[in-house]
Structure 1
Amino acid sequence: MATSLRTANAARPRRRQSSLAAIQVGGLLSLAALSACNTGDVFALQPAVDVGTQTAAVPAYSGMQKLVPSDPYLTTAAYPRMDEPMSSPAEQMPAEEIECRQELRRLGVSYTDLAPIGEGGQCGIAYPVKVSSIGSIAMKPAATLTCNMAATFAGWSKRELVPAARWRYMSGVKAIHQGSSYSCRKIAGEGVLSEHGKGNALDVMSIELNNGKDIDVRKQGLFSFRARGFLDTVRADGCEYFTTVLGPGYNYDHRNHFHFDIKSRKNGYRACR
């Protein structure tokens, strides 16, 4: 497990209201329920983009955004997936998954084991965890990830994000606002499964400090020296933990968030841009 963690480290309504038509025939009342759901009305936190995507403009970060398709092989949008707690005992987990959860506990991560996720195609997580906090840092909303990605992100948060916040702002970190964890989708324009579809990716929208300051990941103004320095530091340090780190300046789709993932690549190649 230590080896796998080191490898990882090295390396979104217009709703049509349901209508009931009561038709009385021969004293009997029959109900016909008609319902439809416009996919443009299903919401979740932004963003719905990934490496190399070419999507329409995304509204400025406001905490909510449309969900992306839950099935990459369909063109319809997703309905919210209901998390199910794990029903089988932990003994059925492989040894590396058990060891990974021990690492989560050492890092002070509060998490819930979920039932296996499988949505057809290549999407899914065999042994997902739902992370609600990392020590005193709240994850808003809770993030569904592989244990390995959760441990990698927790390590980065405690060893890089927190010290950087104390150095730049003399404050601890209260919450990490994330926009997308597990989400079954392909990378737009490439036909390749996104690491979000494997639970190996997390998008960070903003970082809330204990002193009340909320640091938006979007590109800072020319004279926002402190925020720019802080974001540049945690972004660069992320390259020591994740194999992919993308953010503002990489392309338009990543203008408002950091994308972190642990995609497996040959020869230790990392995409940090």
Structure 2
Amino acid sequence: MSCALSSAVRLKRLSTILLLSVSTTLSGCGMDEVRRPMADVGSGSDTAIASRSLANEENQVAVETQTLPSSGMDQMSGPPPDVISVPDTSQAASEPIEPATPTLQPPEAAPEIPRLGETKPYSLPEMEPPSDDDKSYGYLKNYSYPNAIRDPIARGESVLGMSGGEMACRTELKKLGVVFQEKPPINDGGACRIDHPLAVSGFASGNIKLKPTATLNCQMTLALARWVKGDLSPSTRLRYLSGINTIHQASSYSCRTMSSQRGRPMSEHARGNALDIAKITLNNGREIEVERPGLFSFRQRGLLNTVRSDACDYFTTVLGPGYDRFHSTHFHFDLMQRRSGHRACR
């Protein structure tokens, strides 16, 4: 009997020790710490108070949301929004919670963008300085006319309001190396006028001089430059083995009739549309007079005959020695426009 009691006591102690060890193990693992809800929602009054608290929190969140800046740039550059604080629910039972008054803050001004500087309109100088190159063709270094236009082609416009054809003609003159100046318009009454006259003083970039300076229109100047380059210069080199130094002209613009005879039509000279050439000086010093050559002047005769025949490819009228007494000492070239398109080469 005593053995049975002692055995029961031992079993009870063992079970007690086992329970203590199990409870100790569970408490170490945290199984006995169970979090309880912050508020008891079992009663009806507590439930209503909790509902009002949640509604007030939503109103406050909406108001603070409205105060945020509207533009995307302000959100990026402005300070971060304030952290929404949740009121303590423990004071809900003691005093009522009133909705927060919205505080609207003015949005921050956008950063001012610096304005670019205003570009000043380009204004051309009234008078451009002439070129320092003595052989700069197109415009002379020393201007003889106070109202001359310095460079209408480079400026892109003309004070005298030139047409596109006049501007294109001047461009061709510069390509051919014609030395010329712009002159004021000439109007001597009737047919004696040139709207855009030129003072021509040389060809081939100044290597061939024209003396005295001739007053011509642009189309006549262009035809003359092509003739000098394409016919006169090659012919003199072929026969005299020398280039041209100076072309001597006898008449350019002149307000008169044909051959200065009373009652005859107005000459093409009155329009700056004609030029008379009396003599040619070569680089070797030889002078070729435009006149009927002597019996043994073979080279002079050959040159004058070639010039007379080939010049009709450039001019509409070519008159020279042997035609009449008025053209016995010079060549007359002009660009007369005839209805039939006829060219007079005599």
TM-score range (shorter-chain normalised) is 0.5 to 0.7
Query: Structure 2: how far apart are the matches of 1:118 and 1:88?
Result: 22
Which residue of the other structure, out of 215, 237, 242, is the alignment partner of 2:315? 242
CA offset digits 1:147-192 (Å, max 9, x no partner) = 0000000100110000000100111010100000001011214431
* 1:117–1:211 CA distance, 2 compared to 1 (3 A): same
The answer for the alignment partner of 1:179 in structure 2 is: 250
Paired amino acid for 1:271: A
Structure (1/2) with the larger strand percentage: 1
Task: Note the C-alpha offset of 1:84.
Answer: 5.7
The answer for the alignment partner of 2:305 in structure 1 is: 232
Paired amino acid for 1:166: R
Structure 2 length-normalised TM: 0.54
Query: Structure 2: how far apart are the matches of 1:84 and 1:267?
Result: 42
Paired amino acid for 1:175: T
SS at match of 2:253: coil
* 1:84–1:143 CA distance, 2 compared to 1 (3 A): farther
1:164 is aligned to 2:226? no
Query: Structure 1: how far apart are the matches of 2:345 and 2:147?
Result: 35
Unaligned runs of 5+ in 1: 1-81
Query: Structure 2: how far apart are the matches of 1:88 and 1:214?
Result: 35
Which residue of the other structure, out of 124, 134, 147, is the alignment partner of 2:218? 147
Task: Note the C-alpha offset of 1:87.
Answer: 5.2
Paired amino acid for 2:338: R
The answer for the alignment partner of 2:148 in structure 1 is: 86
Higher RCO, Cα 8 Å, sep 6+: 1
Query: Structure 1: how far apart are the matches of 2:218 and 2:340?
Result: 23
Structure 1 length-normalised TM: 0.68
Task: Note the C-alpha offset of 1:122.
Answer: 1.3
SS at match of 2:189: coil
Aligned 1:89-100 pairs, distance under 5 A: 90=152, 91=157, 92-100=161-169
Question: Does structure 2 retain, via aligned residues, the 8 Å contact 1:85–1:112?
Answer: no
Task: Note the C-alpha offset of 1:253.
Answer: 0.9
Query: Structure 1: how far apart are the matches of 2:241 and 2:306?
Result: 15
The answer for the alignment partner of 1:129 in structure 2 is: 198
Quote the sequence identity (%): 51
Paired amino acid for 2:326: D
Query: Structure 2: how far apart are the matches of 1:248 and 1:190?
Result: 24
Paired amino acid for 2:148: M
Question: Does structure 2 retain, via aligned residues, the 8 Å contact 1:86–1:116?
Answer: no
- Larger Cα Rg: Structure 1 or Structure 2? 2
Task: Note the C-alpha offset of 1:130.
Answer: 0.7
The answer for the alignment partner of 1:49 in structure 2 is: none
Unaligned runs of 5+ in 2: 1-143
1:104 is aligned to 2:173? yes
Query: Structure 2: how far apart are the matches of 1:89 and 1:216?
Result: 36
Paired amino acid for 1:197: A
CA offset digits 1:45-85 (Å, max 9, x no partner) = xxxxxxxxxxxxxxxxxxxxxxxxxxxxxxxxxxxxx9664
Paired amino acid for 1:127: H
Query: Structure 2: how far apart are the matches of 1:199 and 1:192?
Result: 15
* 1:208–1:89 CA distance, 2 compared to 1 (3 A): closer
Aligned 1:13-52 pairs, distance under 5 A: none
Which residue of the other structure, out of 332, 337, 341, is the alignment partner of 1:259? 332
* 1:250–1:84 CA distance, 2 compared to 1 (3 A): farther
Task: Note the C-alpha offset of 1:100.
Answer: 0.3
Query: Structure 2: how far apart are the matches of 1:113 and 1:247?
Result: 30
Structure (1/2) with the larger helix percentage: 2
Task: Note the C-alpha offset of 1:226.
Answer: 0.5
CA offset digits 1:11-48 (Å, max 9, x no partner) = xxxxxxxxxxxxxxxxxxxxxxxxxxxxxxxxxxxxxx
Paired amino acid for 1:116: P
Moved over 4 A (4+): none
1:204 is aligned to 2:277? yes
CA offset digits 1:180-228 (Å, max 9, x no partner) = 0001011214431100000000000001101110000011101100000
Query: Structure 1: how far apart are the matches of 2:231 and 2:289?
Result: 17
The answer for the alignment partner of 1:38 in structure 2 is: none
